[in-house]
Structure 1
């Protein structure tokens, strides 16, 4: 029976079923807190705990899902192409904002890791939390981080960004759709971008552009991790 719970068939089916249930819960409640990823994570965690399935085993068994993340993220290029003229006109603040976002994301982890004496493997695993899963896991593996921690960090960051973004935009009185989109994409990658798309076409395009730019900056900044951690 334990072999069944660790099989790709079971783990992939569990992931899809949990996400579908999350979508239904979101549709029924209409609450931003009932994010499908949050619901799915809770359900999957409960099943893994009940069946005694190790998280790393689940991670390896769902490799097929991670494979499709990259082409799914590339679909955001359509919105970017439609608003390419706007992005070109504001290329300097776009680049500057994404660079600051990447620096803040990695720098905050480094500072907190130093302050609380976090082990290097954990810190490296959390450092790329604000980029897409494909980039984050590759960086974590390359620099000796714990990949399951990276996956957890990326998902949590994305979900928090998707849930909190509309509220923070209102509280901070951000009126410019370019600013809102860049902030969401730079901090919470593709998951947050799903919320940006709902806010407007420009927000979605800028958030999509931020995903790619912050990813590039994060890869470059990650080269310094061996020297600061």
Structure 2
């Protein structure tokens, strides 16, 4: 039954969440977070299969790739600003990747963790397809990597801008880079709602960090395993 209601339910929940956010602009009123919990509850309480919902909502899923490509529009609009700040952008994204993957490896070395779990969560800050691919190449579980990425994206979209305000990061370019580097596509969607500049720089950080993670993560993992064997 949920097959036939998948698209109407998804669109209705998205619209209701957007309306609620306009009335009460609280960070946790997120068009991904709240509909996700409601849909999960509907699937469980109705005894439906997740596969039925996925099949019914497949047309929406097909729009995901064009939506991601459309993020290049604000990127193109800010191309002059990006060229002028290319070096600090690359430096910031590189540090973001090193910190993200490095902290994961350090934390997992302190707490006994299965190697496949380490590989699955180390790519948490890049977009889902890249995270699944990089994680699998490192011996991780793609499904776990995808779940962690979604959770991190939602968390960044919810608390990212409040944290930036708390630390008095007010420059829209810096805000966009921070959100895109940590919260990939979900965070970028939230950044785009804040402004064209935030959306453009978040898109840029998402792409650059994805590429850098694919390059640097295997090197960091090799170093991690070498150190583990010699200590």
Q: TM-score, normalised by structure 1?
A: 0.82
Cα deviation, residue 85, structure 1: 0.7
State the secondary structure of the residue aligned to 1:128. Answer: coil
Determine the structure 2 residue equivalent to 1:25: 17
Q: Distance in 2 between matches of 1:19 and 1:187?
A: 27
**Pair 1:91-2:83 in alignment:** no
Q: Deviations over 1:155-192 (max 9, x none)?
A: 11111111112211211111222211111110001111
Deviations 1:8-59 (A, max 9, x none): x47xx647724641441342253321212111322333345443757xx689
Quote the Cα distance in structure 2 between the aligned partners of 1:178 and 1:170: 14
Structure 1 unaligned spans of 5+:
none
Instruction: Tell me how far apart the structure 2 counterparts of residues 53 and 146 of structure 1 sit (CA, whole Å).
Output: 22
CA positional deviation for 1:65? 5.8
- Check conservation: 2:17, 2:35, Cα contact below 8 A: no
Q: Does 1:139 align with 2:134?
A: yes
Please name the residue that 1:110 is paired with.
Answer: 105
1:111 deviation in Å? 1.9
Report which of the two structures shows the higher radius of gyration computed on alpha carbons. 2
Gaps of 5+ in 2: 226-231
Cα distance, 1:178–1:45 mapped onto 2, change above 3 Å? same
Please give the TM-score of this superposition, normalised by the length of structure 2.
0.82
The yes-or-no answer on 1:199 pairing with 2:186 is no
Q: How many residues align?
A: 219
